A and B are shown apart, each in its own frame.
Chain A
Amino acid sequence: MVNEPISTAETSVPAVASTTSDSRYAIELKKISKRFGAVRANQDIDLAVSKGTIHGIVGENGAGKSTLMSILYGFYQADSGDVYINGRKTLIKNSRDAIAAGIGMVHQHFMLVDPFTVLENVMLGAEEHALISRSATDARRELLRLSDTYQLTVELDQPVGELQVGEQQRTEILKALYRKADILILDEPTGVLTPQEADQLFEVLKSLKHQGVTVILITHKLREIMDITDTVSVLRQGQMVAHRNTSDTSMQELAELMVGRALTETNHQRSTPLPTDAETRIKTNNLGVVDEHGKTRLTEINLEVKSGEILGIAGVAGNGQSKLLEVLAGISSPTTGEFMMNGHEVTRDKPMGPLKMRQLRVHHVPEDRLKLGLVKAFTAAESSVLGYLYKEKFTWRGLLQLHNIKKMCARLMEGFDVRPGNPKLKSASFSGGNQQKLILARELDKSPEVLLVGQPTRGVDIGAIEMIHQKIVDMRDGGCAVLLVSVELDEIMALSDRIVVMYEGRIVAEVNGRDADKTMLGLMMANAHTGAAA
């Protein structure tokens, strides 16, 4: 099955209008096109996935993966083209049709009702009886059977809001199986998982495959494609550019197909050791934060960043990294302990706001660019002066100096290759990568001495990632102290001179960037290493 050649773009099935097709395929798409205004999100997509296989779909952000899957699940209607499920032409107008056709979907952002229990979430929309109690009895029996068959263990009576992400994901899979799905689509399923949780997920997927379920895995992580899929398709700018048997391809080839050009992988660690007289720019001393609900968010954080080095903070999302970044950037105050920021002490009683930080040449590229980085409804020019309006160049006697602002924005856009390079466009109309470049440009332009960066390449294309990494490294080489928070291990490992790992608000390990090993870091992120702190 694995080695069987799949229908490729070159050898596509003749486009005869018929209601049946080859029934070896669980899903077959023929000439699917979809456009949004001027954007052609999907263009003549052909795809065939054999029953009982795991098929990967890779592509950069904005390549049209999500649109394609949304068409399959009935969120959108294709403008043209046909969908065949198990060889039969199928019209999918909404989720109900998709479920009826045996398609189950695990969305990137889980479709769960947080206060409901796992059982209630699974039942929702598939309750047999008008009374909850009767439906629940049946559902419980069926779920126990399913979790036995596929090793999908979840505590059925826990509210899902209190579960770990991995368990929430298993709930989503159970939801699909409970609805008798024999085609399971997973959209970026490992983005929020630790490497160990991801492995667990892959075990489940393999066992699903052995039971005859067809799995479609959408991801931009090539390693996962290589590890688990049988066949793979590559999307680029709305078109299917290649179909491959996984065993016949390589990560290098797939990456180049995704981007459309050759890529070079580089490690950016310092080539020379840090000079011994390098100035300490950030130093925290037993920093702790208890939030307004009385929950401990950070405990005894001790770290140090010197001029000319990048300290990477690794960890699964939600283990205190965001809070740490927030405190260091002056957005919130520590409740215990203190830290020195570029020579100034900050404590609970002596807080320092973001404006003062900026004047100390401490600059911050926030994790959530839409929440903290820019205002979606502002023009690019307006977003490009956020936080710097106090400068006389931009505000004179309370009046905005629009000409200067636009000129400066145009300069930033040119320097960081922000496309389209038009300062008058709304911030929201730029792609994620270009928004990120604009924010980076705004902060780096002020030649910071300390740079705090959160998730610099979240939702950013491979092409832009290279450039953003290079800019950060340039800062470091220019003597800036960089603190980098990222959930992407590859990013942490490519950039950091030193890496600390956070788990539940504590620093649980520190390693040298050059010696870092992915498996070891993964174990540390799950706090499962046995005192292996180097």
Chain B
Amino acid sequence: MLDTLSTVYATIDATFRVSTPLILCAMAGLFSERSGIVDISLEGKMLAAAFAAGSVAAVTGSAWAGLGVAILTSIALALVHGFACITHRGNQVVSGLAINILASGLTVVLGIAWFKTGGQTPSLENSARFMPIELPLAGALSDVPIIGQFYSDVVSGHSVLVYVALLSVLVTWWVVYQTRFGLRLRAVGENPLAVDTAGLSVSRLRFAAVAICGGLCGIAGAYLSISQNASFVREMTAGQGYIALAALIFGKWRPLPAMLACLMFGFLDAVAIRLQGVPMPYIGEVPVQLIQALPYVLTVVLLAGFIGRAIAPRAVGVPFVKER
């Protein structure tokens, strides 16, 4: 019985760790898409940020420096996306795709050139990473059955970036629904012409949104290379940017539901990891590939009909052309 509980707690614990980059990216995408800019380059920005964090942390030995440069790198890419889509009204999907391809190639090329380890960055000392932190009283409470154990096993013991990710959901909700900036952000994604005639600058709002998106992707990337792992590995984002985008759509472009969707994907992933090599009753050992495919199969099934019609911000993907 206690063993089962430990297993459950360990799975939930893993869920949070796996979901963190998804949640950060989903919030990033929320800002961008709510402003009317489609962003499939979450993936590329996150990858570039992961590389930047890994490199800088390896060179300076400081996780915080790594995080800072990761955020700046990702914002820079976001601004490139903005320059193409907002200033020059380019196709948003093409621009996003270009950034993904750029990030995928450039990280490996620079990695080989700088570190000569086949595209990886050097392994980091623990001091150069964001390590799990013990919350106060975690040790003392771990003996209290169920609740205390939950606190010490699940709530405590994560890297600071995991807490940042959860906090980002609340902050996103507050910004989008409670502030003037949020009101304008939602308006510009629905009807940019209305925003323009109200005397506001559509491009300034959209650039702000895209930059915030970049910042959040940067944190997600840094988490991958200097917190969850101890170095950058080529293609380490492995499609999580796209999964985050799917979660955003599941959540109908709202922060809390999007977070729940991310947690669901994270949970499936955590379960998949746990099920590997474990014989199942009646079925026997399930092939690893099948389990790993589970989250994606579920994505298709859910997208195909279980979530109902998702109504996107009306102006998403449409360049704003001011003419009558």
Contacts and interface: CB of A to CB of B under 8 A. Distances in A.
Interface of A: 66, 70, 73, 75, 94-96, 98-99, 105, 107, 111-116, 120-121, 123-127, 129-133, 135, 175
A473 B58 CA distance: 83
Contacts of A131: 178-180
List the 10 closest A-B pairs by CB distance, nearest first: A125-B198, A96-B199, A111-B194, A111-B197, A127-B180, A95-B199, A113-B190, A113-B187, A125-B200, A99-B199
A70 B324 contact: yes
Nearest to A105: B197
Contacts of B193: 111
A66 B324 CA distance: 8
10 contacts: A94-B199, A95-B197, A111-B191, A112-B194, A113-B191, A124-B198, A125-B195, A132-B179, A132-B183, A135-B180
Nearest to B189: A113
Contacts, number: 74
Nearest to A129: B180
Given A75-B324, A124-B183, 8 more contacts: A75-B322, A105-B197, A113-B186, A124-B187, A124-B200, A127-B183, A130-B181, A175-B198
Contact of B194 (A73, A75, A124, A129): A124
A169 to B, nearest CB: 14
A456 B200 CA distance: 38
Contact of A116 (B187, B196, B200, B324): B187
Contacts of B197: 73, 95, 105, 107, 111
B81 interface: no
A165 to B, nearest CB: 16
A178 B186 CA distance: 21
Contacts of B199: 94-96, 98-99, 125-126
A114 B189 CA distance: 11
The contact size tier of chain B is 20 to 34
A98 B180 CA distance: 22
B198 A95 contact: yes
Nearest to B194: A111
Interface in B137-182: 177-182
Contacts of B180: 127, 129-132, 135
Interface of B: 177-184, 186-187, 190-191, 193-200, 314, 322-324
B178 A133 contact: yes
A88 B200 CA distance: 24
A129 B195 CA distance: 17
Which interface residue of A66, A112, A135 has the most chain B CB atoms within 10 A? A112
B208 to A, nearest CB: 14
Nearest to B197: A111
A279 to B, nearest CB: 45
A288 to B, nearest CB: 24
Contacts of A126: 198-199
Which interface residue of A95, A127, A129, A175 has the most chain B CB atoms within 10 A? A95
B296 to A, nearest CB: 29
Nearest to B313: A115
Given A95-B198, A112-B191, A114-B191, A124 B184 contact: yes
B190 A95 contact: no
A190 to B, nearest CB: 19
B264 to A, nearest CB: 26
Contacts of B200: 96, 124-125
B184 A125 contact: yes
Contacts of A135: 180
A244 B144 CA distance: 90
B324 A124 contact: no
A430 B198 CA distance: 32
A525 B187 CA distance: 34
B183 A123 contact: yes
Nearest to A133: B178
Which interface residue of B181, B191, B314 has the most chain A CB atoms within 10 A? B191
Which interface residue of B179, B180, B323 has the most chain A CB atoms within 10 A? B180
Given A99-B199, A132-B182, A113 B324 contact: no
Nearest to A112: B194
Contacts of A130: 179-181
A75 B196 CA distance: 9
A129 B187 CA distance: 17
A124 B190 CA distance: 13
Contacts of B187: 113, 116, 124
A112 B178 CA distance: 20
A130 B196 CA distance: 19
Contacts of A98: 199
A115 B179 contact: no
Nearest to A109: B193
B33 to A, nearest CB: 15
A127 B182 CA distance: 12
B198 A120 contact: no
Nearest to A127: B180
A132 B184 CA distance: 10
Nearest to B198: A125
Nearest to A66: B324
Nearest to A126: B198
Nearest to A135: B180
Contacts of B195: 124-125
Contacts of A133: 178
